[in-house]
Amino acid sequence: MRDRSLPDDLGTAVPLPAAPRRVVSLVPSLTEALAVTVPDRLVGATDWCTHPAGLDVPRVRGTKNPDRTAIQALAPDLVVANQEENRRLDVDRLRAAGVPVWVTVIESVDQALASMRRLFADVLAVGTPEWLATATTEWARPPELPGTRVAVPVWRDPWMVVGARTFTGDVLARLGLVNVFAGSPDRYPHVAVEELRAAGPELVLLPDEPYPFTADDGPEAFPGTTPVLVSGRRLTWYGPSLATARAELVAAVGRRPVT
């Protein structure tokens, strides 16, 4: 094997003497991307990896508490992780056990596209997937919903919303939407529901994950404001769903259904 290493998104050199053939993913978005693009190489994923439907690979527990022993037993030549979704402790201990770990950093659409392009072209040596090329074209288009003020709760009791420096916040901006909490110093600030209402959003986008907002759970908290139920996957996932997410979000927000 030839000596080769590549820097991951954090700049850490990851030993990659050959293109990885056995990959464990600790990130649902990247699990879907791997399963769609290189299904024969994906040998493990977390319990939270729900896409594509019917994914049949060994599970290694959650994103925050992966079973490191189970991961090592799968003999991966690469584990794919994410700075936000996974713990540094788990990354360090896997590396100490001799398992190469590639850490992604994704806080914007451009970062997502560039990170996945590097993963597939440089690390896995399979070039740019068609869905990624389509997503790149889609998200290069000008904003289609300019100026509408929105808030995006991601949890309730306590209420949490999308703030600054997040992938979801950039998705909103790329659509032309104005996140009323974009100026927060926190990425996902805790806010009282009264504060959320007082921020003056024209629309409150209620995703079905991570908190499963529904027509009966969420809209009632915002009388006088238009709530819109949207797919959390379209707002927060950065795998193959990016190829269609833009059009689907524009359609959902443009309809502005009152629940």
Query: Based on the domain organization, do 193 and 117 belong to the same domain?
Result: no
pLDDT of residue 4: 86
The yes-or-no verdict on residue 172 having pLDDT over 90 is yes
Average the pLDDT over 23-49 and give the result. 97
Query: Based on the domain organization, do 165 and 118 belong to the same domain?
Result: no
Query: Based on the domain organization, do 21 and 63 belong to the same domain?
Result: yes
Query: Based on the domain organization, do 211 and 109 belong to the same domain?
Result: no
Residue that terminates a domain, selected from 58, 93, 128: 128
Range of the domain at 25: 5-128
At 97, the pLDDT band (50, 70, 90 cuts) reads very high
Q: With pLDDT > 90 as the criterion, what percentage of the chain qualifies?
A: 95
Other beta carbons less than 10 A from residue 231's beta carbon: 16
At 62, the pLDDT band (50, 70, 90 cuts) reads very high
Q: Which residues contact 253 (CB under 8 A, 6 or more apart)?
A: 145, 148, 150, 175, 177, 203, 205, 228, 230
pLDDT of residue 226: 87
The yes-or-no verdict on residue 93 having pLDDT over 50 is yes
Query: Based on the domain organization, do 174 and 120 belong to the same domain?
Result: no
Query: Based on the domain organization, do 107 and 203 belong to the same domain?
Result: no
Question: Whose CA is closest to 86, among 100, 70, 65?
Answer: 65
Query: Based on the domain organization, do 207 and 153 belong to the same domain?
Result: yes
In a domain, 135, yes or no: no
Average the pLDDT over 49-65 and give the result. 96
Query: Based on the domain organization, do 165 and 248 belong to the same domain?
Result: yes
Residue that terminates a domain, selected from 128, 157, 187: 128
Query: Based on the domain organization, do 103 and 158 belong to the same domain?
Result: no
Mean pLDDT of the chain: 94
In a domain, 144, yes or no: no
At 127, the pLDDT band (50, 70, 90 cuts) reads very high
pLDDT of residue 257: 44
pLDDT tens sequence across 211-240: 999 999 999 999 988 899 999 999 999 999
CA distance 74 to 203: 46
Q: Name which of 18-22, 33-37, 118-122, 252-256 the model is least confident about.
A: 252-256
pLDDT of residue 1: 44
In a domain, 20, yes or no: yes
Average the pLDDT over 232-258 and give the result. 87
Average the pLDDT over 183-205 and give the result. 95
What end-to-end distance do the CA atoms of the chain give, in Å?
59
pLDDT tens sequence across 72-92: 999 999 999 999 999 999 999
The yes-or-no verdict on residue 203 having pLDDT over 90 is yes
Query: Domain count of the chain?
Result: 2
pLDDT of residue 254: 81
Query: Based on the domain organization, do 121 and 226 belong to the same domain?
Result: no
pLDDT of residue 95: 98
Q: What is the CATH number for 56?
A: 3.40.50.1980
Query: Based on the domain organization, do 10 and 119 belong to the same domain?
Result: yes
Query: Based on the domain organization, do 162 and 202 belong to the same domain?
Result: yes
